[in-house]
Structures are given as structure tokens and as C-alpha cells.
Structure 1
Amino acid sequence: MKIAIVGLGVAGVSVLRELSRQLDTKQKTDYKIIIYTSEKEWGTGFPYQNDDESLLINQYTESMTIDLDNKDDFMNWVKRNKTVDAPYHTHLPRKWFGDYLRETAEQCMKELNTEIRFEKVEDIEQTDMGHYTVFSNQSAEKVDAVHLTTGHLAYQDPYHLKGEAGYIYNPYPAEEVLTFPENTPSVGIIGSGLTALDAMLYIQKKYPAIKLTFYSRNGLFSSVRGDEPAVNLHYFCDDRVKDLLNQMPELTIGKVKEWFYKEMEEHQIDANWVWKHLGKGTLEGMALDLQYSKELGEFQSMIRHMRTCYPFIWNALADNEKDQFLSEYSEQWQRFKAPIPQDTAKLLIEQINENAIRMVSGLESINKTADGFKLLDSEQNSYTEEYLINCTGQSMKVSDSLHLQSKLLQNLINKGMLTPQKYGGVKIDYPSMSIIDKSEFKHALFKTYGQMVSGVQFGNNNVELISHSARTGVRHMLAAMQKQN
């Protein structure tokens, strides 16, 4: 038996880990695991690749682990390998988590019959009902199962500037691409999310004389990370939610809110007050987040612990209910779910108030000029920049951005092997993680994860959930293989 893993970031390492745990001793020898990855990102993936240590994980360290059976695995790794004795409630360099992932991958590879190929996969074809052929830029390999773990989708290009001189389409790795002449007076950052803050922190460290301007359509940052306590859920735990869903003929946003508020009340959290006053993303809002970090942290901790339930709830909602959530709640919900570390928020507030950094909201257009770029806001104010950094985030709707995606993804979608999902990524069967092709056939031996399934695991692309998905994906794959035999 041959199993292909295409990509070796969080999802790929999670699949490796599950194979090392779920295969028996004989299978570990008999099953050949062929890993396709780039040398630069092997064992780390895109977000945790080797880069400057000013780029931090926005999650608290204790919430990060690749090992579902040991929630302190990463914290213990930090204590063993870094000069940090008390990593609890810290924000550590992202590259450290990449080092941890790579070490985990190496340990798993020692237990399995693996072959690593530093090749770029360009296509995958189904050769018959039980096999697939993986085509790379160097080889073609017939395999029995595929785990598509390519990680992040392509960045957006909302102003159609990709390829223009002075436009940095993808800001990572920062050490390689965020380089400017010493006399550069200013740089523009398009966007105001976590990627934009990465660009800010790196440029201020390496080029302190450069004046930075954030250009954004809504002028909003994220919420601030509060002081999150540990919690135990009563209503929003997996078994309880599954039981409730089985009892209901149809789920509505109103019913979800009812469950949500019941959980919050159980923990004496005034969810209405938090929603009304915190997580607004303005400078004043971030200052209020810092002032009420205890109340905010309790709320954020609750929604973080609820996240394994989100896919079951999301997929039980009718499209009109999903659309209601997107229009009424999604933006602020995302700000609560992806907050800024407190120290970064304090620095941002201070520098904008002192005019060391500028924020321009209402961005409407950007045009290339002979000397750089001309930007216009909604009041027709004009700005010029020689360099722009694209920090608008990934494009989750692959049907709208196929031309920006990888050759592999383009080929799989164009031939109908993968089918774009209305709310992002591609269609899969959840929780088996099996792809669903254009004919609605479910491929039990072809799995995918992460941002590729963002329309099913909506807005919830985190290490823990990817690890859970890999566990069920590998389990379902092995069951399908046994059934075939």
C-alpha cells in the first residue's frame, strides 16, 4: 500500500502523527508513505516557516499543540529547547512552533516507512476506483490513498496589482521579501489584520526610519487578546451539541444563540455586554479591550473552547441561516476569534496616537503609476507610495480566485476532481474529510484539510481542529482500505 501526503505543514504532520499511531507494527513496514513538500517548508508549512522571531503566534502558547493527547506538548517542548521557563500565557515566535512541528515529523518518520520527495505536485488523477496517480514536476507515482495537506490558499489580489514593481503580493517569509533601500521614506500596508501587524513589527525592527501607513476599507483592526481562563463547557461540548442536533428537525441561528447564551450564563458571562462594547477593532475599541481584559478573556476563552462544535453546527444550518450569520455577526465574530496580543495592541495604539503610524480607512482604489502607486479613499483624498505590501489575507472562495491558486488546485478543480464549496474551499464529507467531486462522488481514499475545507470548517482553521480532522481522516481512510481488501 502506498499513501501520498502532499504538503508537510500542520495538516501533513498531523496525518503523519496519526499514521504512526493508528497503523499496527506490520502496517508500519508494509505501508509506504510518500511525502511531497518543498525544502523550504518541509515540516513547518507556510505560516510556521523559518522567519524572523518578531513574527509571533497570536494564540497563547498553552492552546498550541500538535498532540491531541497531550495539551502541554508544545509548552514542554519550549521548556526543553528554549530559554523560557514559564511559557503559559505567552506569545512566542511562530518559527518556534515550526521547529516543534519539524521535530514531530522527524520522530514520526522514524516509526514509518517513509520517502520524502522535494517535488512540486502539479496534478492528481484517479486511475481506477482504488488508485490515484500523483504527478509532480519530476515524477509520476501510483498510490492507494492521498492526503492533500497543502495548507494555505493563495493570497487575495483585490486591486489586481500582482506582478507590478514595488508591490509585494505575498509578505512571507518577511526576511526574504520585505527588503527596502535604506533611504526608503515610507511603505504602505494594504489591510489591517494579523498579517498587516506582522509586516509592521518586522519593518519597525529592521527599518525603524520607514514611516508606515495602513490602508484599509473599514479601518478596523482585530480585538485584543484578553486574559483567558480555563473553562469547562456544559452546553457547547461535542456530545451535547450532537445530541441536540439529532433532536432538531432544523437548526436556526436563533436556536444557536439560545445555546450560546445559556452557556455564557452558566459561566456568569454577560455576553450581551461584551458583544456590545468590546471587540470593535477601532483604536478606542482596542483601548477598551485592554481595560476589560478579564471580561474579554472569559468570552474569548469560551468561544475558543467551543470551536470543535462549530463544524457540526455550521453544516446543520440551511444556507439562508448561514447567510444571516455572515451578514449580522461574522465580522465581529472573526475579530473575537483572531485577536491581537496585548503588547502589540498597546504599541499600535501608542504609535497611531503619536502619528508615528498612519491609518487610512475607506480605501477605494489603487493604481500603478510611473513612480509607484496612487491610492484614493472614499472622500477622494489621494496618497502615493513607492512600495505596497499586500496583507489582505487568503482568498477562501476558490471559484472566485482560481487564477491565483496553485497549478495543482487549478487542475483538480478544472477537471472536476475537486468542487468549489459555496462558503469557501472545496466540498468534502465531514468528518471523514473525503473529497466530493463534480459528480457528487465521495472519494473515501482522497482526503483534504485546513483552508481547503474552510466552507465546512467555517472560519475555524486552527491547529487543534486540523489535528482532530487528521485523526478522523486517517481512521476513515484505514477503514476504507480494509473494506477494499
Structure 2
Amino acid sequence: MKQTKRVAIIGMGIAGSAVLEAYAKESKRRPDLPLHLACYDESRSWGRGLAYLKDAPEVLLNTRAETVAYDYEQRGHYATWLKETKGLEEAYTSRGLFGEYLNYFTKQTAADLNATIIPEKVQSLTYLPDRQQWLINSETLPYDHIHLCTGLDTMADPYNLQGQAHYIHTPYPLQTSLSHIPADQTIGILGTNLTAIDIAKVALKQLTPRKIWLASRHGNLPVADVEQLASLPIQVLTFERLREIREENQGVLPFEALDALIEEEFRCQAVYFPIYRQERLLPGWEALAVSLENPARVARAELLAMYITRLLNTNWAYMTRSDQSTFWKKYHRTLDLTRSKIPLASVTALLEGKESGVLDIMGGLTDVAPASDEGGFLLKSNNNNQSLKVDYLINGIGLSNNPHEANDPLIQQLLADSLIASHPFGGIIINSQNGQIISPIYGSLPTAQAHGSIIEGSIYQANATYIIQERAHHFVRKSLAHS
């Protein structure tokens, strides 16, 4: 009789739920597999993660409902659930509603697997190298395998403002964090991404500000989601062609070859990339206006951007660090602004705020500092040496991808013990073929895998829902290959 394998899933947000569902799939395929699963996370985020806690209805999921699901193999499942249980047929829903959906099916899967739910955060991990096992917190019974799914849930603080009066460092949930801002104030929001846009929408609806400024270094807004396409016939940039190129180059994917294929594929889709990139990187309102004027082209570019993301998800590790950096500089921001589309309802709210004179954008942000004598904050830009003062400042930059900046004591302990190492592009270093964590001391750890946003440097755009789920299933299969 096979010995029962004790497995711990640490963190039960989108990545943890994906790992749990992967075990459910493998258990159906191999019903004789002896497993004991334990799922660790604090109660409020168990089965949904911090990203999908209940919040204001204006805080939207940044993906259309028909494209996300609890299970990546059941595309459209979330949209079906919305219609059947809520009577909703909306393209974009609130993050809190998706969290409710995710929580329901995660708990159902845990029950089906007889998994143990442990409603607490893991504070420490002890590695037993002789047995390749793990002890969690003060427990004495070791686990045979762990899945690190904690994410990096610390907001970036590039201007070192945390702790300053009238500065909201961690804005979620917006419903409560913005409620204490008085009327007739000038509000600054750091960022022009979807997080910053959500903050602006809630502020416009719930507050009566004198002025709201969205401020960032680039000042770029994502494209507007006006038109959708069901599919896009790929002409030259195929998985097979990249495999052939790797074989021709001793297993390496050179940027020059990838670059030529990407530009050619854009041309095949009637999108000339140099011009499209220039349009996407226009400042603020200009880029949004151009995307509204060219919805069909944006829709084609969106599908191609999503396809390239999937393509690189499996090919990123075959590129040298230098070539990865070159790709990042040329393509990443344009692709990111194209994938992360602004829902039409959000576009309407932004344009209404602009027309009323309440909302505006500051690009070229170079510095933010407390206004020494008067209170508030001074924002400086290299655009015509512009500067402005705001009474309140809200951090909409997003999460830091640097493990050394994480507030999580577990991540800091793992770094201190050299069980994990930070990746130059963010997150921690793993073997991208099997998900195994790579330790500076022990090398590849065969009984420890990492998932989700914490591995975004090792796997390109590892924070996309379907990629997290797909990779989790692949990694779990790898971990069970010899069980």
C-alpha cells in the first residue's frame, strides 16, 4: 500500500484555488492516489485572496466575465454562474462578486477532496533536507510537499510615503479607505493603471472632490474595451515555429527571431506595430481617444497581445536574460496596456470626470514629497516643469513584485534562510518547467513548488488567471509523476 502523501497549499487566493483544483483533476484521473491536503490562509481571504474581497461595486474585475472561470478548462463558467445564480449578464463584474464565486467553488473542491481547511497564515517554514520534508509554524508532523501560493501582497512605495498623514498607502477596500476624505479636497492618485482608474471612479461617485489628479511617470491609460473578437487566425507566430527556432539555436530562442515574427504577425493582422506602439504610449487622454476611434484594430491587437502572452508563458525560459530585457523594453508596456482594457462603463466615468473639470492626468511624474509647511503633498513632473499640490494622496501604483519589500513574515524568513531567491524581473526564481523553487543553498527543491504572481519573473505574466490555473495543473502533474 502506498503511503499517504501530505501536501500543504500555503495561500488560498487564485493560485491556491488553482492548485487545489489541479489536485481534484488528478484525483479523478488517479482515484487510488493517497493524498492528504491541507489549505492554509486567514479566514477573510481563504478561497478568494485579497484581490477579490468585497468592495465598492465600481471596483471591477479587469477581465470580461466570459473569459475567466474557476477552472481554466471551463471557459465561460463564471458568466454562466452569474446568469444562473445572480440573473446577471454583464461583461464586467465587481471583484467582490468574482471573489464570492471563487470562494464557493474552492470550498466545494476542498470538501470533495476531504482537504483540511486551516484558517491561519503560515508564518514560518522549516526545511528538513535529509528527508526533503517541511514543517509549518510550530507543527511537528512534517509535510511531504508544499505549494507556495502567497503572492506578494505589498503595495509598492517608490516615494517612501507610507505613514505620512493624508496618504492612503493600501487603498483596498476602497469603500472604507476613502470614506474619511472630506469634501472639497484636491486628491492625487498615484498611477494611471486599472487600479488607479478604479480609485478615481469610486472617488468621483462617493466623494465631492474639488479636483482629482491621476499621476504617473508615463501618464499612459490602457485601451478602451469597445469591440471584442471571438478569435484571431495566427499566420506566422506559431508555437511550432518557435520550437523550430529553438532547435536551430541549441535550445535558445533569440530575441531577433522572435522580434521579426511578432512584427510580421502584427502586419498580418493589419496592425503596424511601430505606429500602434506610438499610439499606445501617447500621454493620457490622447491614447484613450485613439483607442476609441479604432475599436476594430484595438480588438485585433488585444487578441494578439493575449496570444503572445500565452506563447511566452511557455517560451520565456528559453530566452537569455539579456533578450528578455530587450523584449521587455520594446513590447511589454504596449502589450500590457492592450491586454488590460478599460470597461466602457469606466471609460464613461472617466470622460464625465474630465468634462466636468474634476478629473485630469499628470504624466512625467518625477517626484512626490510631503508639502513641508502646509500639509498635503507636492507632485512634480518633467512635463514643462509642472508641479501641483494635493491635499490627499492615494497609492494606486499596484503591488510591489520585489520579495525583499514584502510585509509577509514568511517571505522574509524564506529569504533570510536562503530557501528562496528574488528574480531580476520580479518574484522568486523557480524552474519554469516543473515549478520547483530554486534555493541558493539547496538548488532545485523537489518538494516545493511556487505559483501565481510570486513567480512572474520566471514565467512571463504569471499573474493572469488562466495562466496561473494552467501552470498549476502542469506543475501538480509534474509533482505527482513519480507518486
When normalised by structure 1's length, the TM-score is 0.90
The separation in 2 between residues aligned to 1:185 and 1:266, in whole angstroms, is 50
CA distance in structure 2 between the aligned counterparts of 1:72 and 1:427, rounded to whole angstroms: 33
| Pairwise CA distance, 1:258 | 2.4
- Residue pair 2:367, 2:379 contacting (<8 A) in 1 also: yes
Find the counterpart in structure 2 of residue 223 from structure 1: 223
Q: Where does residue 192 of structure 2 map in the other structure?
A: 192
Name the structure 2 match of 1:386.
391
SS at match of 1:241: helix
1:255 alignment partner AA = A
Distance 1:439 1:102, change over 3 A: same
The match for 1:165 is 165
- SS of residue in 1 equivalent to 2:350: helix
* Residue aligning to 2:259: 257
Of 18-27 and 313-322, deviating more is 18-27
Correspondence for 1:74: 78
Which deviates more, 318-327 or 187-196? 318-327
Q: How does 1:117-196 map to 2 (within 5 A)?
A: 117-136=118-137, 139=139, 142-183=142-183, 185-196=185-196
Alpha-carbon shift at residue 284 of structure 1 (Å): 1.6
Partners of 1:362 and 1:110 in 2: how far apart? 51
State the Cα distance separating 1:213 from its structure 2 match: 1.6
Does structure 1 residue 339 correspond to structure 2 residue 344?
Answer: no
Matches within 5 A, 1:358-369: 358-368=360-370, 369=372
Change (3 A) 1:320 1:91: same
1:458 equivalent among 453, 457, 460: 460
104-113 or 359-368, which deviates more: 359-368
The 8 Å contact of residues 60 and 94 in structure 2, kept in 1 or not, is answered as yes
Give the counterpart of 2:64 among 50, 60, 63: 60
Corresponding position of 2:108 = 107
What CA distance in whole angstroms lies between the structure 1 residues aligned with 2:322 and 2:271?
29
Shift of 1:467: 0.4
Shift in Å at residue 380 of structure 1? 5.3
Paired residues of 1:13 and 1:43 also in contact (CA < 8 A): yes
Could you say if the C-alpha distance between residues 69 and 344 of structure 1 is closer, same or farther in structure 2, counting changes exceeding 3 Å?
Answer: same
Kept in 2: contact 1:351–1:357 (CA 8 A): yes
* d(CA) in 2 for partners of 1:226, 1:241: 32
> Match of 2:379?
375
Give the C-alpha shift of residue 156 in structure 1: 1.0
- Tell me, yes or no, if the aligned pair for 2:209 and 2:358 is still in contact at 8 Å: no
Q: 1:109 to 1:318 in 2, by over 3 A?
A: same
Name the stretch that deviates more: 259-268 or 348-357.
259-268
Alpha-carbon distance in structure 2 between the residues aligned to 1:148 and 1:341: 32
Structure 1 pair 281/11, CA: closer, same or farther in 2 (3 Å)?
farther
Q: Output the CA distance in 2 between the equivalents of 1:158 and 1:80.
A: 44
In structure 2, distance between residues paired with 1:176 and 1:242:
50
Give secondary structure in 1 for the equivalent of 2:394. strand
Moved more, 11-20 or 140-149: 140-149
Contact 1:45 1:151 in 2 (8 A): no
What is the alpha-carbon distance in structure 1 between the residues aligned to residue 279 and residue 30 of structure 2? 58
Change over 3 Å in CA distance of 1:31–1:210 after alignment to 2? farther
Mean Cα deviation higher: 359-368 or 151-160: 359-368
Can you give the 5+ residue segments of structure 1 that lack an aligned partner in the other structure? Answer: none
**SS at 2:366's partner residue?**
strand
Identity %: 22
Distance 1:28 1:131, change over 3 A: farther
Q: Does 1:2 align with 2:44?
A: no
Contact 1:152–1:450 (CA<8 Å) still a contact in 2? no
Normalising by the residue count of structure 2, what TM-score does the alignment of the two structures yield?
0.90
Q: Distance in 2 between matches of 1:69 and 1:362?
A: 42
Secondary structure of the corresponding residue to residue 413 of structure 2:
helix
How far, CA to CA, are the matches of 1:140 and 1:403 in structure 2? 30
The answer to whether the 8 A contact 2:309-2:460 is kept is no
Q: How does 1:301-340 map to 2 (within 5 A)?
A: 301-340=303-342
Return the offset for 1:439.
3.1
CA contact (8 A) 1:28 1:112 kept: no
Counterpart of 1:207 in structure 2 is: 207
> Following the alignment from structure 1 to structure 2, what is the Cα–Cα distance between the partners of residues 326 and 347?
31
The answer for the alignment partner of 2:276 in structure 1 is 274
Question: Following the alignment from structure 2 to structure 1, what is the Cα–Cα distance between the partners of residues 460 and 187?
Answer: 33
3-state secondary structure, aligned to 2:45: coil
Task: Tell me if the contact between 1:194 and 1:340 (Cα under 8 Å) persists in the aligned partners.
Answer: yes
1:31–1:113 CA contact under 8 A, matched in 2: no
**Deviates further, 102-111 or 200-209:** 200-209
Q: 1:145 to 1:40 in 2, by over 3 A?
A: same
Aligned counterpart, 1:475 = 477
Structure-2 change in CA distance of 1:316 and 1:25 (3 Å):
closer
Whether contact under 8 Å (1:68, 1:467) holds in the other structure is yes
Spell out, residue by residue over 1:122-145, the C-alpha distance to the aligned partner (whole angstroms, 9 max, x if none): 121211344443434x75652111
Amino acid corresponding to residue 183 of structure 1 in structure 2: A
Q: Quick one: which amino acid aligns to residue 72 of structure 2?
A: L
Q: Which blocks of at least 5 consecutive residues in structure 2 are unaligned?
A: none
CA positional deviation for 1:315: 1.8
Does the C-alpha gap of structure 1 residues 201 and 141 become closer, same or farther in structure 2, counting only changes over 3 Å?
farther
Change in Cα spacing, 1:459 to 1:69, as seen in structure 2 (3 Å) is closer
In the alignment, residue 106 of structure 2 is paired with which amino acid?
A
Secondary structure of residue in 2 paired with 1:187: strand
Distance between the aligned counterparts of 1:469 and 1:60, measured in 2? Answer: 21
- How far, CA to CA, are the matches of 2:407 and 2:50 in structure 1? 14
The offset of 1:147, in angstroms, is: 0.7
Candidates 41, 47, 53, aligned match of 1:43: 47
Q: Secondary structure at the match of 1:125?
A: strand
Contact 2:134/2:145, CA 8 A, preserved across alignment: no
* Structure 2 counterpart of 1:16: 20
The range that moved more, 110-119 or 234-243, is 234-243
